[in-house]
């Protein structure tokens, strides 16, 4: 090992060149990473959630559960049909509603309502829920996800915009935990 501390002109230029490239790479990495994470960072502070209308309250008879569809509040030009989302609207009585996500709380398949037996059934892994959304049987760990809702000017409004999944904060914030079934 040499203890010579002098450095040749070429070696200095090479080190400076590497340092310069490192600086440029770091400077470029910032916008690249921000671009890649755009879909995550935008969602912060409920950036995706908005109030959307499901239609007039008169469309939903008391004591019944009906399928409603709405367009997602955040869309892009190439979304096509996938911008639409379905949900189950249960009008308990008067102004009292329960609005369930179509997605099973197990793995997100579309649940179907069977009014005769008062059950939501999932076609994928056999999850079943009672009419109030609480878990009846099968692999789900909890009841159906519910959208926060309100009645405004005779319209049923829900706060939506994100795919409800078992781990999403919106699911745990607004979704009702299953009552003792």
Which residues of the chain form contacts with other proteins (CB under 8 A)?
A: 36-37, 39-40, 43, 48, 67, 69, 72, 74-86, 102-103, 106-112, 114, 116-119, 121-126, 128, 130-131, 136-141, 161-163, 165-169, 181
Nearer to other proteins, 23 or 82 (CB): 82
Least Å from the CB of residue 52 to other proteins: 12
If the CB atoms of residues 22 and 179 are measured against other proteins, the closer one turns out to be 179
Contact between 87 and 158 under an 8 Å Cβ cutoff? The reply is yes
The per-residue b/e assignment along 122-135, b for 16 or more CB within 10 angstroms, e otherwise, is: beeeebbbbbbbbb
Cβ-based nearer residue to other proteins, 1 or 180: 180
Nearer to other proteins (CB atom), residue 92 or residue 107? 107
Query: Measured from the CB of residue 154, what is the shortest distance to other proteins in angstroms?
Result: 23
Give the residue among 100, 165, 163, 168 at the shortest CA–CA distance from 131.
Answer: 100
Where do the DSSP E strands lie in 46-127? 50-56, 64-71, 84-93, 96-101, 112-114, 119-121
């Amino acid at each position: 090992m040499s203890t010579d501390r002098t450095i040749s002109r070429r070696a200095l230029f090479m080190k400076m060149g590497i340092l310069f490239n490192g600086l440029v790479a770091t400077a470029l990495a910032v916008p690249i990473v921000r671009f890649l994470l755009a879909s995550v960072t935008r969602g912060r502070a409920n950036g995706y959630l908005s109030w959307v209308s499901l239609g007039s309250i008169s469309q939903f008879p008391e004591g019944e559960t009906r399928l409603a569809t709405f367009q997602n509040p955040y869309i892009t030009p190439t979304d096509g049909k996938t911008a639409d989302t379905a949900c189950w609207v249960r009008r308990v009585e008067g102004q009292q509603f329960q609005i369930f996500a179509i997605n099973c709380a197990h793995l997100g398949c579309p649940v179907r309502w069977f009014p005769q037996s008062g059950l939501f059934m999932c076609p994928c892994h056999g999850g079943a829920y009672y009419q109030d959304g609480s878990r009846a049987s099968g692999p789900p760990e909890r009841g159906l996800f519910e959208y926060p809702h309100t009645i405004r000017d005779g319209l049923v409004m829900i706060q939506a915009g994100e795919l409800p999944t078992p781990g999403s904060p919106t699911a745990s914030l607004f979704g009702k935990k299953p009552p003792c079934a």
